Amino acid sequence: MSRDEPAAESRAALDLTYVLYNDSSILSHALALLTLTPILLNPAYAALSVWTRELLFFEMWAGQMLCECTNYVLKHIIQEERPNSVSTLLLKPPSVAIDPRAFTEDLGDGYGFPSSHSQWMGYFASFLILHFSLQHRFVSTGFRVLDYVRDILLYTFIITCAGAVAFSRYYLSYHSIPQVLWGFTIGVIFGSAYYMLVEYVPRRWPGSFLGKLPHDAADEPGVDLVPPT
């Protein structure tokens, strides 16, 4: 290489919003957008925490970050590659046909087990569902059937969104099915355990150590968030 030729630069992709998808597929495009949901939830946490100043949102946000840290630790302990990484493809037996295009798809750095997006959404869904079912009190519509329908639609929406994000990680070839399922399961377990520790136990047993810590009174059982007119 002559002096006039520029030195080769080492480049890396910004994994935060870097998503590869099939641009000829509407479903692939939609899932590529949907897979960014965990990134968009962070500013939502920040806005709700600052705007409402309710401890619940700070707790949920902190738990989300702890769950993400747990995922980082697990990935570096287990060190399982993503399904389309070069090392994974080269380990396949000769009898397995490999699409040559797979070697040209840069899905970013990092290990694949467990899926961080799936774990994120598992935490998010479990925390919200537990809060809405155990603590939060919606104002009644005056019709029990409508109240049930509202709750079912809400829970279905949360689970569907979380499941769709997890599915997008498999569909876009960023993770295998076990990586997605384990990530989602770990997120659900972490979110459920965390919610019980920071929200349910302090309210259910106020005389306990956790119950003596400060918490919001807005969602106390039997208290409506919106005063009756």
Supply the Cα-derived Rg of the chain in whole angstroms. Answer: 22
Confidence at residue 125, expressed as pLDDT on a 0 to 100 scale: 95
pLDDT at residue 20, rounded to an integer: 77
Residue 92 pLDDT greater than 50, yes or no = no
What is the rounded CA–CA span in Å between residue 146 and residue 178? Answer: 38
pLDDT over threshold 70, residue 122 = yes
State residue 156's pLDDT score: 94
Contact present, 39 and 134 (Cβ < 8 Å): no
* pTM of the predicted structure, to 2 decimals: 0.75
How far apart CA 1 and CA 105 sit, in angstroms, is 29
Domain boundaries defined on the chain: 26-84+112-212
